[in-house]
Structure 1
Amino acid sequence: MMNNNMLKKVTQIDEQLFLTLFNCNSPRWFKTMAFGLSKSGDGGLYILICLAVWWLSNNEQHQLLPVTILIGFAIERPIYLLAKNRFARIRPCDCLVTNAYIVPSDKFSLPSGHSAAAFLVAIILSHFFPEYALLLFSWATGVAMSRVVLGVHFPADIIIGATIGSFCGLFALALVVPA
């Protein structure tokens, strides 16, 4: 178990890293790109991908994709909600800075739901479409980083969110996809 001094040091590093990444002087294009990446992780894209693969693919294996993603989210969402309310970490835009670029959907920051969802989807899509793995993980990393750049998450929030999403994606694959 982490002692109080060590926890304080980790929190200080996390806050300092946040202040480094959340820069009010960032160029407009950078903020616009972060906003676009964040929006791509809102959830609508996941539904479109599942429907497109289900509708367009003749590959029997690809037909498992929508079910795998649904099971992944059925596992991830309760963990995310439990952790979010248990940790109840105040968002950086409510305690460190006053000028976040977006309004968050709730008041707590740990873990990042956008990061969890993006990595869950990247893990599962990479299994079905390995040729796009680099693109998918670059996108998921961009979604996660955008949440810090926009001022609504600390770096630790996105790391923990990405970890939760990755494990839930792997677990869903283990449950659905035959070995």
Structure 2
Amino acid sequence: MAFLSRLRIGRNTSNGAPRSRRIPALIFWSPLALAFGNYFWTVKLISGRSMQPTLNPDSSLWRDFGLFDKFSIRSRHAYQRGDIVAIVSPEDPRRMIVKRILAIEGDTVRTLPPHPDPEVRVPVGHVWVEGDDSFHTDDSNRLGPIPAALIESKLSNGAYGGNFEFRP
């Protein structure tokens, strides 16, 4: 029963540091957290059907979220065919779209409707992106080749579903 004497049931316990120490810590850590999210990695909520079945595999109310790597895109422009990337929408710069890179500059792509040409050669400084569900996506088949400068980040490792189940 000696171990029960170490429990603090009913005793006055503090729930953390006093407020006078928490505020300076908050002031110190907030800019670091902001810089981390702006320049290195960020967590994004992924909604919509365009990347099904890879992301948001069912049509439930749960959405997937993923850890997106900004640093490798900003510093090294490290993207390749097959990467899932977050892109600033060419139509609305306030909106982000998540798509898979299908082709990079110099590649030739067979297009799908509604694109007017049967094949397109991706110009220098551009990528061709498509959603995994070709029937529910606004991608390069409608928008054309996307400037690589609009790539904001890429999905690193995988995504987590609303039930916190990891999917590579």
TM-score, normalised with respect to structure 1: 0.25
Query: Larger helix proportion, structure 1 or 2?
Result: 1
Q: Which has the higher contact order (CA 8 A, sep 6+)?
A: 1
Larger of the two Rg values belongs to structure: 2
TM-score, normalised with respect to structure 2: 0.26
